[in-house]
Amino acid sequence: MKPAPFEYWRATSIDEAVQGLAASAGTAKIIAGGQSLGPMLNLRLARPSVLIDIAGVTELKRVQDVGGKLFIGAGTTHAAIEDGVLPASAAGLMQAVARRIAYRAVRNRGTIGGSLAHADPAADWILALTALDAAVSVRGPNGKRSVPVQSLMRAPFTTVLAEDELIVGIETDKLSSTAVWSHQKFSRKVGKFADAAAVVVLDDTSGFCRIVLGTPDAPPVVMRSLAEALLSDSKRRLPLDAIYSAVQTAGTAADSFDIQLQTTVLARAIEKLVLQ
Amino acid sequence: MDDAIDAAGQGIGSSVLRKEDDRHMRGRGRFIPDFKMDGLSEVAFVRSPLAHALIVSIAKPAGAAGWVFIRDDLAGVKPIRSVMRAPGFRASDHHPLAHGKVRFVGEPIAMCVAPSRALAEDLAESVDVHLEELTAVVDAKAVNGGPYVHDEWGAHTFLETSSDNGIEEIAKAAAVTVKREFHMSRQVVNSMEGKAILAYWDDLKSQLVVYTSTQVPHMIRTGIAEHLGLDQGAVRVVAPDVGGGFGYKCVLQAEELCIAWLAMTFRKPFRWTEDRREHLTSGANCREHFYSVTAYADVRGKLLGIDAEITVDAGAYSVWPFTACLEATMAAGHFPGPYAFKGYRSKSWSVATNKPAILPYRGVARTGICFAMELTIDAVARAVGREPWEVRRENLVPEDAMPYVNPTGKVYDSGDYRRSLDIAVKEIDLPAVRRKQAAMADGGHLIGVGFANYIEMTAHGTKLFAAVGLPFVPGAEPATLRFTPDGGLEIRVGVQSHGQGMETSLAQIAHEVLGIDLGKIAVVHGDTELTPFSTGTYASRSITMAGGAVAEGCRILAERMRPIAAHLLQCGADSVVLRAGTFYGPSGNISVPEVARTWYMRPEQLSGELSVCGLEVLGLYRPKVDTGQYSYGTHAAVVSIDRLTGALRILDYVIVEDCGRRVNPLIVAGQTYGGAAQGIGTALLEEMQFDTNGQPLASTLADYLMPGAAEMPNIRLHHIETLSPNTAYGIKGVGEGGAIPPPAAIFNAVNDAFAGTGVEVNTTPLTPRRLYGAIERWELGRRGAGA
């Protein structure tokens, strides 16, 4: 379990990293914390010609509170978020999500941008940031663009980003003080990727409500009709059969156990939301 | 000795901290991958991507002839052929590199040598192997006709056994007949350190030196010498720090022969370090038992007889020296467990499949039979409408029947099995659990409580092994001991300590006899050059066998010192007493170290006959009865089941265990907790699955789930100390017990939660998906009953 040969470049700036990507004509890989890419390199499932290390790029670790928005540098580690590097508002949700990613040793090195770029459908950030309707800031040779997290993952382990594009950060609207959220994660053991997960965000002030279901084999699913129903229900309750049929419609379940599990995880997320 | 007193609290029964932990906690252990050596080459293996295929051709990359090796290159190396001396046994030839056919995914086909492992793996990728795929034999329960794993057999089994002491007659008297099927899935051992081997040629001694991560250095020396055609004196095997074995490292591996051959042939150092993918997919598979059990009982649930059909998926090859049939034959021979009943019929099949060979893993067979037997007991109890623990209790061998001979002739030496269960029932507070269960009956969670009794045969010796028919039989266990001139004691043992803490516990036994400070006692192990021959560490034998040998050696040393001490104290030898490291005479005393110093450094003070009887001795030990000493105990679990997800939580877990005299209670507790963690893994998480083509479905620990700290319940541990009548100090082994009953206790708890509905779970591990399937049946039954 040793990687196939590759060249190693250490980038000191975003520009350098993007130039490196462009120069490699699609054969380079960005490495930040290496918590997913490392094993894939060792298993020779990933075989880049060049590894561009962005762990030392300080401008990627910036966290900014800009008016109604929060900008989180892609190089921010899960541990930093767990430890409270983000200001309040959405931070409550993100801090709670960060705390339950893998193990602390993984969180110490793994980064939020790396997790999104890796595009494991069972991962936590793609789910939580979809629920917050966040967007990733992307830099490429032709400049900047913004991609909603919701449409970032084309398929498991595949994003819509071009080969020469780099995620530099995440931009998310700050929630109002009345916003509530909940996060449910079902996994067979602590630290394992979830078999099913759900995040619900509800902000009465802005009328924002999102319910997102995460599963191991498909990109997170935004449950629009459920969210609308929840928003329009004064008691913030949803009937179980509505959730059940929404899961069936989502097509994320391979068998009756999956349906049951996903339904339960969603139902509990919604239930917990109301209890807060 | 005479009045051995544990003055410093270092002897038998003292919970002293382990001597070896100092280096391990500071990261100063020395494992094989830590070694640096000039000119060391690393090895990577080309492994079969198919489970069953003909090898059409193997093309080495151009210019790589001296760096890539296949079977034909290994001139003079014999295949591993591990034969159980039993009628009808079919032998397999396991070539160190595949020959003609590959028989499991991961079987080594070629080995590649390079200055680094990464380069060796690059080389391995460039070897072109052309295979012609054959239909794989994957389901041991569904074998029927060809193709065969071993074509020359024209059959699928390594061995079939049967026994019957008249079950049909006994069955006629049964008021209750209970028939059940059980399946304990294939697992992987997952020692923290995988296998590692480093071999070089020592020109000084004209000797092949093999460092290997093993439990049995002397056996590996024998194995390497026999298979490479060397004299055993020309082979030295060293096991430095070894990061766990659990049975995986008590067999000769193909890779061991390969690396040894390289060093012997090229007279240079070579190393192979197993990675976790190799460990999971090719190295360390185990278990995979199928049971069909019929129990015959009276109206109260008292067992009259058991009929057990046991199928073990043994994988492709027979491992040396434990063979492909240890699991099935031990399962058949020990199925009755701690229960007293008369009628017993067994049939066993050790089936060859296109999977890695199974290895003896902690608990060997008994985790499976305990699972099958304990679930059967509970099923019998439900059939007669009684509390499972009561039926269990009445069937347990009573204390006054000890020593007890079971229906297969095994002799249980001592113990109070019922008392162990009674303590567990009390500690788990059964009435409180039943109240909670009733109170939560209609809630979101089901509560269940389960008990499992087990016995753990330990330190089985010559007679038993001779009867089993393995390629080797252990004899009297040796320890050599000597004093250093400054009064320190060196103990040399052929067993190997790889987590058991024997550098401490064996020293405690020596302290018990001689009273020397533990800091002055060194236990030397893991090197065939420095230690006496032993079959090694397996079968929970070392503390009993090597411990007995150390005690015997210390006694001999004390008797040699006594006349010297008497001479120096100017009194008769009879009037000298050894107490806490000092010889006391009528008018003075002298310490053990001082006696040693005098013998080595001041021999002029001794008369002629005293100075010729040295302070270096061989202690040999064999228990009075060497068919095994039976440790035993009870596990009790309370579980909560989430009705909506099939998630299971262990709410309470009680262990009662009796391993005779505990040499170091702290180590006993560690062994028990560690074993229980592995047993909980068996029950809830661990499963090595294969698809219908024999492809393993897990190749990393992301897919093969192991219990972690968060999955461990807070275990409440209780001890009974029933001394074995057959061993020094009444010691019994404790290495495996913790891993035996957790699946049984946990599954019984789940089945208790479903009691009264006919729903039972019977297949490990109890994944949420499997458990939810049972919940669905249970809900259906409830709705049916309500309607």
Q: What is the pLDDT of residues B163-200, one digit of tens each?
A: 999 999 999 999 999 999 999 999 999 999 999 999 99
Question: From its phi and psi, is residue B729 left (phi > 0), alpha (psi between -120 and 50) or beta?
Answer: left
Helix B254-266 / helix B217-228 crossing angle, nearest 10 deg: 60
Residues of A in contact with B707 (CB under 8 A): 189
CA closest to A102 among chain B residues: B702
Q: How far apart are the C-alpha atoms of B512 and B491, rounded to whole Å?
A: 14
Test mutation, A104, A240, A260, A265, chain B, max B CBs within 10 A: A260
A72 in a structural domain: yes
**B768 and A188 in contact by Cβ < 8 A?**
yes
Residues of A in contact with B276 (CB under 8 A): 1
pLDDT band at B6 (very low <50, low <70, confident <90, very high): very low
Looking at the fold, whether A159 and A215 belong to one and the same domain comes out as no
Q: Which two tokens stand for residue B412?
A: 């249980």
A223 in a structural domain: yes
**A186 and B645 in contact by Cβ < 8 A?**
yes
Helical residues (DSSP H) of B242-362, grouped into ranges: 254-266, 276-278, 326-334
User: Environment class of residue A112 by beta-carbon count within 10 Å: exposed (0-12), middle (13-18) or buried (19+)?
Assistant: buried
Looking at the fold, whether A199 and A235 belong to one and the same domain comes out as yes
Rounded mean pLDDT of A19-41? 95
Q: Among A173, A192, A212, which residue terminates a domain?
A: A173
pLDDT band at B621 (very low <50, low <70, confident <90, very high): very high
Nearest CA among A202, A192, A5, A249 for reference residue B119: A5
E-only strand ranges, B30-118: 41-47, 53-59, 68-70, 101-102, 108-114
pLDDT band at B290 (very low <50, low <70, confident <90, very high): very high
Query: What is the side-by-side strand order in the sheet with A28-31?
Result: A7-10, A50-53, A28-31
Looking at the fold, whether A142 and A76 belong to one and the same domain comes out as yes
**B711 and A257 in contact by Cβ < 8 A?**
no
Buried b (16+ CB within 10 A) or exposed e, A186-196: bbbeebbbbbb
| Parallel, antiparallel or unpaired: strands B303-315 and B343-352 | parallel
The residues on B that touch A, with CB distances below 8 Å, are 116-118, 121-122, 125, 275-277, 644-647, 685, 699-700, 702, 705, 707-708, 710-711, 767-769, 772-773, 776
A95 in a structural domain: yes
Q: For residue B277, give the nearest of A1, A3, A193 by CB distance.
A: A1
Percent of chain B's residues with pLDDT above 70? 98
Buried b (16+ CB within 10 A) or exposed e, B577-587: bbebbbbbbee
CA closest to B769 among chain A residues: A257
Residues of A in contact with B647 (CB under 8 A): 186
Q: What pLDDT, in 10s, does the model give residues B466-523?
A: 988 999 999 999 999 999 999 999 999 999 999 999 999 999 999 999 999 999 999 9
**B122 and A44 in contact by Cβ < 8 A?**
no
Residues of A in contact with B646 (CB under 8 A): 257, 261
A26 in a structural domain: yes
Buried b (16+ CB within 10 A) or exposed e, B257-282: bbbbbbbbbeebbbbbbbbbbbbbbb
Question: What CATH number has the domain bearing residue A13?
Answer: 3.30.43.10
Torsion angle of C-alpha atoms B246, B249, B252, B257, degrees rounded to 10? 160
Distance from the Cα of B438 to chain A's closest Cα (Å) equals 24
Amino acid B447: pLDDT = 97
Amino acid A178: pLDDT = 86
CA closest to B707 among chain A residues: A189
Q: For residue B685, give the nearest of A2, A4, A189 by CB distance.
A: A189
pLDDT at A181 > cutoff 80: yes
Looking at the fold, whether A198 and A147 belong to one and the same domain comes out as no
Amino acid B587: pLDDT = 92
Helix A224-232 / helix A240-250 crossing angle, nearest 10 deg: 160
Looking at the fold, whether A81 and A168 belong to one and the same domain comes out as yes
pLDDT at B740 > cutoff 80: yes
Partners of residue B292 on adjacent β-strands = B181, B309
Amino acid B1: pLDDT = 40
Nearest CA among B600, B500, B544 for reference residue B727: B544
Percent of chain B's residues with pLDDT above 90? 94
Rounded mean pLDDT of B420-430? 98
What's B527's DSSP letter? Answer: B
Q: Which two tokens stand for residue B317?
A: 């090859």
Residues of A in contact with B773 (CB under 8 A): 257
Q: How far apart are the C-alpha atoms of B510 and B548, rounded to whole Å?
A: 10
Nearest CA among B272, B242, B197 for reference residue B536: B242
> Phi and psi of A14, rounded to 5°?
-60, -45
Round the average pLDDT of chain B to a whole number and report it.
Answer: 96
Q: What pLDDT, in 10s, does the model give residues B668-723?
A: 999 999 999 999 999 999 999 999 999 999 999 999 999 999 999 999 999 999 99
Which residue is it, tokens 């060497």?
A: B626
Rounded mean pLDDT of B409-426? 97
Q: Which two tokens stand for residue A132?
A: 């917050």
Q: Say what the ipTM of the complex is.
A: 0.95
Q: Among A138, A173, A208, which residue terminates a domain?
A: A173
Domain interval for residue A259: 180-275
Q: Which two tokens stand for residue A259?
A: 């349906």
A84 in a structural domain: yes
pLDDT band at B786 (very low <50, low <70, confident <90, very high): low
pLDDT at B2 > cutoff 50: no
Q: For residue B705, give the nearest of A5, A192, A261 by CB distance.
A: A192
**B644 and A260 in contact by Cβ < 8 A?**
yes
Looking at the fold, whether A118 and A160 belong to one and the same domain comes out as yes
User: How many domains does one find in chain A?
Assistant: 3
| Parallel, antiparallel or unpaired: strands A166-173 and A135-140 | antiparallel
Q: For residue A257, give the nearest of B700, B707, B772 by CB distance.
A: B772
Q: Among A133, A154, A173, which residue terminates a domain?
A: A173
Looking at the fold, whether A132 and A161 belong to one and the same domain comes out as yes
Distance from the Cα of B536 to chain A's closest Cα (Å) equals 31
pLDDT at B573 > cutoff 70: yes
Rounded mean pLDDT of B732-753? 97
Q: How far apart are the C-alpha atoms of A35 and B272, rounded to whole Å?
A: 25
Are B614 and B560 spatial neighbours (Cβ–Cβ below 8 Å)?
Answer: yes
Q: Is the peptide bond before B356 cis (omega within 30 degrees of 0)?
A: no
- Domains of chain B (ranges plus CATH)? 21-29+476-621 (3.30.365.10), 363-457+625-786 (3.30.365.10)
Amino acid B449: pLDDT = 98
Q: How far apart are the C-alpha atoms of B508 and B511, rounded to whole Å?
A: 5
- At B585 the three-state DSSP class reads strand
Q: How far apart are the C-alpha atoms of B785 and A16, rounded to whole Å?
A: 71
Rounded mean pLDDT of B72-98? 97
Percent of chain A's residues with pLDDT above 90? 89
Q: What pLDDT, in 10s, does the model give residues B342-353?
A: 999 999 999 999
Looking at the fold, whether A196 and A122 belong to one and the same domain comes out as no
Q: How far apart are the C-alpha atoms of B514 and B499, rounded to whole Å?
A: 25
pLDDT at B314 > cutoff 90: yes
Distance from the Cα of A123 to chain B's closest Cα (Å) equals 13
Helix B768-786 / helix A256-275 crossing angle, nearest 10 deg: 90
Looking at the fold, whether A104 and A149 belong to one and the same domain comes out as yes
pLDDT at A217 > cutoff 90: yes
pLDDT at B773 > cutoff 90: yes
Looking at the fold, whether A66 and A166 belong to one and the same domain comes out as yes
| Parallel, antiparallel or unpaired: strands A69-73 and A166-173 | antiparallel
What's B91's DSSP letter? Answer: -
Looking at the fold, whether A190 and A235 belong to one and the same domain comes out as yes
Question: What CATH number has the domain bearing residue A238?
Answer: 3.30.390.50
A1 in a structural domain: no
**B125 and A2 in contact by Cβ < 8 A?**
no
Q: How far apart are the C-alpha atoms of B261 and B267, rounded to whole Å?
A: 10
Q: How far apart are the C-alpha atoms of A70 and B376, rounded to whole Å?
A: 60
Q: Which two tokens stand for residue A134?
A: 């966040």
Q: What pLDDT, in 10s, does the model give residues B347-377?
A: 999 999 999 999 999 999 999 999 999 999 9
Q: How far apart are the C-alpha atoms of B479 and B551, rounded to whole Å?
A: 9
A108 in a structural domain: yes
A2 in a structural domain: no
Residues of A in contact with B644 (CB under 8 A): 260, 264
Residues of B in contact with A188 (CB under 8 A): 685, 705, 767-768
State how far the alpha carbon of A271 is from the alpha carbons of A181, B236, B396, B549, B649, in Å.
11, 66, 49, 65, 21
CA closest to B42 among chain A residues: A2
Residues of B in contact with A186 (CB under 8 A): 645, 647, 768
Segment holding B477, helix H or strand E: strand B477-483
Q: For residue B772, give the nearest of A191, A192, A260 by CB distance.
A: A260
Are B360 and B247 spatial neighbours (Cβ–Cβ below 8 Å)?
Answer: yes
Looking at the fold, whether A77 and A113 belong to one and the same domain comes out as yes
What sign does the dihedral A53-A59-A63-A69 (CA atoms) show? negative
pLDDT at A162 > cutoff 70: yes
End-to-end CA distance of chain B: 74
pLDDT at B559 > cutoff 80: yes
Are B293 and B180 spatial neighbours (Cβ–Cβ below 8 Å)?
Answer: yes
Residues contacting B443, CB < 8 A, separation 6+: none
Question: What CATH number has the domain bearing residue A71?
Answer: 3.30.465.10
